[in-house]
Amino acid sequence: MADAEHEALIAEIRAAVETSSSGPQRDRLLDLLRELENTHGTPAFGDHVKALVDEAEEDAAEIAPFLSRLSSLLP
């Protein structure tokens, strides 16, 4: 996935989280998104994608529509 596509996806997810969630879950998701941004192009990136997907599967319906696109970011 190109950098512009990656950045656009992260921005879409961030907007969904910011408008849909609140409290500790929102903070965890935003922290995970920051980690994705900071580790893009590094070996740790895949771990952060997985962590975000795991968090979303537990109770983060606002990012469910993005899960397949997130999975495509994995090497």
Query: 3: pLDDT confidence band, cut at 50, 70 and 90?
Result: confident
Q: How many Å apart are CA 30 and CA 4, to the nearest integer? A: 19
pLDDT digits (tens, 9 = 90+) for 7-66: 888 888 888 888 876 788 888 889 989 998 888 888 998 888 888 888 777 666 777 788
Interatomic CA distance for residues 54 and 49, integer angstroms: 9
Coil, strand or helix at 11: helix
Quick one: pLDDT at residue 40?
84
Q: Are 32 and 48 in contact (CB under 8 A)?
A: yes
Q: pTM of the full predicted structure?
A: 0.74
- Give pLDDT tens digits for 7-16: 888 888 888 8
Instruction: State both tokens at 51.
Output: 């962590």
